Structure 1
């Protein structure tokens, strides 16, 4: 029953992401083992959308280590648990809660031993910065605990790079780059301290090759130059090459055709007047962190928008009959696709 629930949610989210993004590019998907333990390790730029993209595009049913703060409400906690999310506690949650991580890590070890896939964002927090930030060592504890308990079990550490064209904008593009698996057996002979250091180093380097890496020094200046050049942020190889060449070897991406979008915008806003008003007047003003902007907008898109379209469809059936209502419904979907895909 749980598998049916997970696959149903996955399908629904996939449809939502298809309408939400102009394009979702996948690189390295063929490197992901299908029936072996996998630990996905990605940079964390865009709050809940990062795990949703992994869940729907990796080809694996995943468990997710998620910050414990979102589990506070009982109903929310039940829903998150049903979606294979496990709470991870941080210092800011209180020192007394940190000990709870031991049981979560132990459960993760057992899941990996049974050939499951787990996703962790080892930066420890989300941030819109276009670079990989220093990694916490929490994920290495899982790797090393499994090594000690099940020395014959090899984990595939899969570095993942998320590269958003415009992370706060609906109808933008994103690329998900999956790196080559790093075998946990490579660290089997190292002591705990050396293994922790080496794993973090190797994963950080692999993740950095899969994402745009704007240096911390002069970050805003470099970001502005890249933006002015209209580089394709979904292609980190080209962007990093541009940065390393001191902007001598750069490629600009074509300007988006804004005419079609500008023409369709008032039509879309008129059709979706209620969801748009709810987003702009009620939901958006309450978003305190920019990293959650797209997450909350996407939540509106997959909940309120379908409900509103069904209401409009019902009104159309009552007023014009089922045939015209269906035609209107299909035209509406095509307009939504045209608006976000151009």
Structure 2
């Protein structure tokens, strides 16, 4: 039953992401091991959507380390845990809770020993800035504890670059770049402190190649130039070449502008989905504290309230006016939704 639940949720989320994003590009530098323990290590810009895009872009069911704050509601906690999300505590969650991480990391070690896939974001926080931030050492602790307990384990580390054209926009495009698997043992030496630093540097270096990395000391100026030229961030290799060439004389791959008809279809969709639209604009969006969560909460409204609204209005139309009108409303919503996103 658990497996069926996971397959059902994955199918539903893949359909939802197809309706939410204009385009999702998945690039795999090498085959992802299917029967080996792996750790997906991704950059972190866009809250929960980063995790969803990684999870939906591979056939492996991942266990995700997730900040403990989202597990406070008991019902939501049960749902998240059923989806293989594991709470991890940070200093902001209280010093007394940090000791819980020992049991959580031990659980991660056992999962890897059972050849499961684990996913986490070693930057430790999320930010919309197009740069790879310094990595925390929490992920290295899991790796070292796993190798200490199971010296013969063939643990593979797979860096993942998640890229957005405009992360907070509805109908955005995204690309997910899976790097080549790294053997965890190959980065380890007899000196643990040096190994930790080498491991962090190696993973961060790989992430810099798999997503846009604008150096901190020239961030504002470089970002303005990239935006001025309407560069496409979906190809990080190209973007990083442009960044390294300060004269910007490479042939720039620009993103395509949306159709001029898109605002019309968006307005029509807002009318067709009036209940969820007003809930988003008047109730949910004003309470979103930071822009990194806008996409996540909009998507949450889309996968929860929108289907319920469509079913409710369709049933009302069927009961009062017959199947023809109810069916037409249902098809019209799907058609307009596709036009809003894909144009």
Same fold flag (TM > 0.5) = yes
**Number of the residue aligned with 1:279:** 280
- Offset at 1:46? 0.2
State the secondary structure of the residue aligned to 1:160.
strand
How far did residue 190 of structure 1 move?
2.9
Distance in 1 of aligned mates of 2:105 and 2:222: 39
Counterpart in the other structure of 2:60:
60
Residue 173 of structure 2 aligns with which residue? 173
In the alignment, what sits opposite 2:204?
204
1:136 counterpart SS class:
coil
Q: Distance in 1 between matches of 2:273 and 2:298?
A: 13
- Residues 209-232 of structure 1: CA deviation (Å, up to 9, x unaligned): 001011111312211211110100
The CA RMSD measured in Å over matched residues stands at 1.3
Q: Which aligned runs of 4 or more in structure 1 are off by greater than 6 angstroms?
A: none
What residue in structure 1 maps to residue 28 of structure 2? 28
Contact persistence 1:29–1:58 (CA under 8 A) = no
Query: Offset of 1:306 from its aligned partner?
Result: 0.7
User: Aligned equivalents of 2:267 and 2:92: distance in 1?
Assistant: 44
What does the per-residue CA deviation read over 1:131-182, in whole Å, with 9 as the maximum and x for residues that have no partner? 1100001111111111111011011100000110000001010000000000
Residue matched to 1:307: 308
Q: CA deviation at 1:121?
A: 0.2
**Is 2:219 the counterpart of 1:214?**
no
Maintained 8 Å contact 1:147/1:188: no
Equivalences for residues 176-195 of structure 1 within 5 A: 176-195=176-195
SS in 1 for 2:256: coil
Partner of 1:334: 335
2-structure distance, mates of 1:151, 1:265: 56
Counterpart-to-counterpart distance in 2, 1:250 and 1:244: 13
Deviation at 1:30, TM superposition (A): 4.7
SS at match of 1:11: helix
CA distance in 2, matches of 1:315, 1:211: 47
Q: CA contact under 8 A between 1:157 and 1:182: conserved in structure 2?
A: yes
CA distance in 2, matches of 1:29, 1:335: 36
- Corresponding residue pairs, total: 342
1:233 Cα offset (Å) = 0.8
**Corresponding residue of 2:245:** 245
* Correspondence 1:1-342 to 2 at 5 A: 1-28=1-28, 30-246=30-246, 247-342=248-343
Query: Taking structure 1 as the reference length, what is the TM-score of the superposition?
Result: 0.97
Deviations 1:96-154 (A, max 9, x none): 22111111111000000111000010000011010110000111111111111101101
**Range with bigger deviation, 214-223 or 254-263:** 254-263
Which structure 1 residue ranges, 5 or more long, are not aligned?
none
1:66 Cα deviation after fit:
0.8
CA distance in 2, matches of 1:190, 1:167: 42
- Asked whether the 8 Å contact 1:31–1:179 carries over to 2, the reply is no
